[in-house]
Amino acid sequence: MRRSLLAVAIAGLMTLSWVAGGEAQVRKSTADLALINGTVYTMDDSRPKAQAVAVIGNRIAVVGVNEDVEPFIGPDTRVIDLEGQTLVPGLKESHGHLMGIGVAKMTVNLVGISGYDELIERVLAAAEGKEEGEWITGRGWHEEKWTDRSSLTVRGFMTHHKLSEAVPDIPVYVRRADGHAAFANARAMELMGIDGTTQSPDGGDIIKDADGNPTGILVDKAMGLVRVPGFTENQRRQALELGIQECLANGITMFDDAGVGVDGIDLYKEYAEQGKLDMRVYVMASNLHTMRALKKPWSHPDGFLTVRAVKMYGDGALGSRGAWLLEPYADDPGNSGFYTTPPDSIYEAARYGLEHGWQVCTHAIGDRGNRMMLDMYEKAMKEFPHVKDHRFRDEHTQILDEADIPRFARLGVIASMQGIHATSDLPWAPDRLGHARTVEGGYVWQKLLKEGVKIINGTDAPVEHVSPIASFYASVTRELPDGTPEGGMFGDQRMSRQEALRSYTLDAAYGSFHEDVLGSIEQGKLADFTALSKDIMTVPENEILDTEILYTIVDGKVRYERGRAAMP
């Protein structure tokens, strides 16, 4: 990293005092990392803004102006000159699915390719590092949109031969953009026993050439002839590593993983023990059973992995009309949605959580789903009145009845909401709910904040891209990326930029019991930061989305740097 002249001069002085003062003493006062010339938003009320930060080991040693930090710069200090750019506390994704992010990266994306050759190119790229027994899967090809259509020789589709020649040993199975057809290579068909003698099933079609041989195109029910096996160990590791890389590249320093089974937790533990978990992970066990099997909350001493929560499901989703509502759907009057696990199981999880120190995080979308969750929490809390700091959470909190809003504050329930979901859903939510119900209870951030409820933010990645910038933008504008509708969807519920940053930092840390050590840039806290190319607190709204991640720093180490591959 480039150093300012002043820093170099001071480093020289420190070298002298090193000799004079004895190594042990200097080591304590020499920074391992110094970030200078920044626009630093600390989230610390006693010093909201700063210019520079010094880190010793994995802790923040100094927060102040350049002059405060410079005496701590030694010859071995890594100095990052932020050149006026923005530094915020490490951003935390409060609800995502880490392995899912990696898995999405491991499947081949064929959207927008120009023709068959490009399909082969992308599949070949994915073939790198595949082991025995692994498949290449993907989606998104759409031959009608191809500019090079010379390969479409049998009933308007390509045939597998060229692909099978390029990738002879690894089974390939890639779905068409609409999901109604798939394309397989020879190896995949061989493994599934599909040949010239295989009959097309009812409701499906195995497309065959003039000689009666399958071309690799399977339409509708014929797709059922292919069963892609589950992931191998190697692929699971790859998914985890890709997921972490993707998060770090997006400025995420800590990730609340919303539902991990025993196998996944074992894998995370293994990574934590080997020091390979470059991002902090907070785990919600996948269900009541998993929580009970684990018995006690657990955390790794290095602070990179904590298993202390359980994910429960209250209801379904709004799009598919599974969110549980107090009144029927506006566009489906006979239907009010449903609960997805018996309400009693949420009560049981809450009791177990209160008794054994687990945090309960319940997916609740519809107003009835949310009320039921609060009812179950409250019932259990009455039995454990001495447990004050449970921090039970409501995952999504999308549609609320007015009467339930104060209950969040009274019961101390955290609203774990995804800013980006609001702008994805609000354009069509009134179809499902009618206008009045959408306005009254849909993503009511200001109503919750006014009651004193803590809101924590995220993306539910891979449902949405894991970008905190995109979710921050949605939180403060409630507009789509093109700036519509002007003033935002039910824009009076927008968060201020300070509130949105808090939902990604200090309050996010509170959401996993980490606010004492994370979430703000304060002396003594752990050194997690995200450096941004734009000042998201002051730039015009339409520039927020252009913000790039410059550095992602976790535990005092740079784990991502723009324009560079991930650090080892």
Nearest-approach distance from CB 370 to Zn ion, in angstroms: 16
Smaller CB separation from Zn ion, 96 or 556: 96
Nearest-approach distance from CB 339 to Zn ion, in angstroms: 17
Walk across the sheet containing 108-109 and list its strands. Answer: 108-109, 136-141, 172-176, 181-184, 214-220, 204-208
Nearest-approach distance from CB 548 to Zn ion, in angstroms: 26
Smaller CB separation from Zn ion, 14 or 258: 258
Would you state the structure tokens that stand for residue 104, as one six-digit string? 């999405």
Contact (CB, 8 A) for 232 and 198: no
Among residues 54, 80, 55, which one has the least CA distance to residue 65? Answer: 54
Nearest-approach distance from CB 281 to Zn ion, in angstroms: 15
Cα separation of 3 and 416, whole Å? 41
Alpha helices in 464-563 (DSSP H): 468-477, 497-504, 506-510, 541-544
215 phi/psi in degrees, rounded to 5: -90, -10
Smaller CB separation from Zn ion, 421 or 447: 421
Among residues 443, 424, 440, 426, which one has the least CA distance to residue 503? Answer: 443
Smaller CB separation from Zn ion, 143 or 460: 460
Smaller CB separation from Zn ion, 395 or 561: 395
Smaller CB separation from Zn ion, 367 or 460: 460
Would you state the structure tokens that stand for residue 432, as one six-digit string? 């499902």
Among residues 272, 245, 247, which one has the least CA distance to residue 92? Answer: 247
Q: Which residues contact 383 (CB under 8 A, 6 or more apart)?
A: 351, 354
Nearest-approach distance from CB 95 to Zn ion, in angstroms: 6
Nearest-approach distance from CB 50 to Zn ion, in angstroms: 35
Nearest-approach distance from CB 64 to Zn ion, in angstroms: 40
Question: Site residues (CB under 5 A) for Zn ion?
Answer: 258, 460
Please tell me what DSSP assigns to residue 107: S
Cα separation of 279 and 184, whole Å? 37
Smaller CB separation from Zn ion, 151 or 286: 286
Contact (CB, 8 A) for 204 and 173: no
Smaller CB separation from Zn ion, 258 or 318: 258
Nearest-approach distance from CB 448 to Zn ion, in angstroms: 19
Report the 10 Å Cβ neighbour count for 248.
25
Report the 10 Å Cβ neighbour count for 132.
8
Nearest-approach distance from CB 97 to Zn ion, in angstroms: 6
Cα separation of 437 and 406, whole Å? 18
Cα separation of 250 and 268, whole Å? 20
Give the H or E element holding residue 419.
helix 419-425
Residues comprising the chain, all counted:
568
42: amino acid identity, one letter: T
Smaller CB separation from Zn ion, 42 or 416: 416
Smaller CB separation from Zn ion, 460 or 507: 460
Nearest-approach distance from CB 463 to Zn ion, in angstroms: 6
Nearest-approach distance from CB 356 to Zn ion, in angstroms: 24
Cα separation of 26 and 352, whole Å? 49
Report the 10 Å Cβ neighbour count for 100.
18
Helices (H) and strands (E) in the chain, counts: 21, 25
Smaller CB separation from Zn ion, 425 or 460: 460
Query: Cis before residue 485, ω within 30 degrees of 0?
Result: yes
Location of structure tokens 């994306």: 109
Cα separation of 279 and 530, whole Å? 12
Nearest-approach distance from CB 265 to Zn ion, in angstroms: 17
Smaller CB separation from Zn ion, 170 or 318: 318
Contact (CB, 8 A) for 126 and 285: no
